């Protein structure tokens, strides 16, 4: 029997922290031994009432401490905002190096996803460029071998995950001189747990609106990864929207091909890219949020007309777009079956 692996979550109060807790409840190897946030002085059931009468209900939530986390854990999930995550990562890895301990970190923020140049142009000054240089982008279908040997994995953003899984197989076929347009729609949980005017019920209910059009931070993440993974410089224009639903994401990509592809040829490209990937489903019909919500699946549909290419992909923004992808990365880093603890069954009714 495989020995248990001690894991911790720092940033347990938000939606991604909650999803990690729910996933770890059924994980057969990972033993949750440390939970923390910036405030402490609580137990899990007080922060997340839905976990009352589970085995995590009475876990004490501590004030986040890099030293204690490094001492108690072998694997740490960071579900902190950007900037806070790199501060904590730097401290944890510095302490681990000092005492000669090997620690694996999966960071769900944006702090280690981008080059220093792109990060600082879109977020803030980067204070941990040493670890940034060694961080691996955690998109398993494309970086599995690198993730396996990584000490620090940058969990991809939700929009980039859905977009890249659909787009990357077609990068060699896209005319890079033409523009690529991405229309993305997310459930409101993607905006996080904190209150904002856009997420107020009276504003989001029975409504649909774009935000940060052509200026969203995930645009540069998609552009950079199309270049580093797909080896192409694409002219990408990204516009996200908020849907009046709790969770789920639908991304539509419009691009121009070098030469026409038939529908069958386009589907075959997707099939060849993902035929051995258990969590990517190639669909013959347009994809639906309801078919992936509550699961780790990414569903992809493609259509063509002459030189026009349309790709549509759907994921659960909190799971495949955040927490279950982080768990998949942790499984790979620890040499485990990558599907351990991963939800396979969507909860949609149709």
What is the set of active-site residues?
158
Closest among 212, 220, 225, 214 to 167, alpha carbons compared: 225
* Total residues belonging to the chain: 350
Asked if residue 342 lies in contact with residue 328, where contact means CB atoms within 8 angstroms, the answer is: yes
3-state secondary structure of 185: strand
CA distances from 349 to 38, 236, 247, 291, 293 (A): 38, 35, 15, 8, 10
Closest Cα to residue 300, out of 110, 161, 200?
Answer: 161
The neighbour count for residue 34, using CB atoms within 10 Å, is 23
Separation of alpha carbons 212 and 293, rounded Å: 24
Beta bridge partners of 305: 308
Per-residue tokens: 184: 């993305």
Tell which residue, 270, 275, 238, has the closest CA to residue 163.
Answer: 238
User: What are φ and ψ of residue 10, in 5° steps?
Assistant: -110, 120
Nearest Cα to Cα of residue 21 among 279, 292, 327, 296: 327
Nearest by Cα to 20 from 79, 68, 71:
79
Q: Please enumerate in sequence order all residues whose Cβ is within 8 A of that of 187, keeping only pairs 6 or more positions apart, or say none.
A: 242, 243, 245, 246, 247, 248, 249, 289, 317
């Amino acid at each position: 029997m495989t020995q248990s692996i001690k894991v911790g979550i720092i940033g347990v109060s938000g939606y991604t922290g909650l999803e990690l807790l729910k996933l770890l409840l059924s994980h057969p190897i990972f033993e949750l031994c440390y939970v923390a946030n910036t405030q402490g002085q609580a137990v899990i059931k007080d922060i997340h009432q839905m976990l009352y009468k589970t085995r995590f209900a009475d876990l004490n939530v501590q004030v986040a401490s890099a030293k204690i986390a490094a001492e108690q854990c072998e694997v740490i999930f960071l579900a902190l905002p950007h900037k806070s995550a790199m501060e904590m990562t730097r401290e944890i890895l510095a302490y681990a190096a000092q005492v000669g301990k090997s620690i694996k970190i999966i960071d769900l923020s944006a702090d280690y996803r981008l080059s220093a140049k792109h990060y600082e142009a879109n977020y803030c000054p980067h204070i941990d460029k040493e670890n940034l240089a060694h961080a691996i982008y955690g998109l398993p279908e494309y970086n599995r071998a690198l993730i396996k040997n990584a000490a620090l994995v940058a969990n991809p953003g939700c929009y980039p995950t859905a977009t890249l899984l659909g787009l990357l197989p077609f990068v060699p076929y896209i005319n890079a001189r033409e523009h690529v347009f991405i229309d993305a729609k997310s459930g409101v949980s993607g905006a996080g747990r904190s209150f904002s005017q856009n997420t107020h019920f009276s504003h989001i209910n029975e409504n649909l609106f774009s935000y940060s059009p052509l200026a969203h931070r995930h645009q540069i993440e998609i552009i950079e990864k199309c270049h580093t993974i797909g080896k192409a410089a694409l002219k990408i224009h990204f516009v996200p929207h908020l849907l009046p639903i709790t969770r789920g994401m639908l991304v539509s990509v419009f691009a121009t091909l070098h030469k026409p592809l038939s529908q069958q040829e386009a589907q075959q490209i997707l099939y060849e890219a993902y035929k051995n990937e258990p969590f990517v489903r190639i669909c013959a019909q347009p994809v639906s949020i309801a078919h992936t919500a509550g699961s780790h699946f990414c569903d992809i549909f493609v259509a063509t007309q002459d030189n026009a290419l349309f790709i549509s992909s759907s994921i659960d923004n909190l799971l495949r777009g955040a927490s279950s992808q982080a768990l998949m990365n942790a499984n790979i880093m620890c040499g485990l079956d990558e599907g351990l603890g991963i939800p396979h069954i969507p909860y949609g009714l149709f």
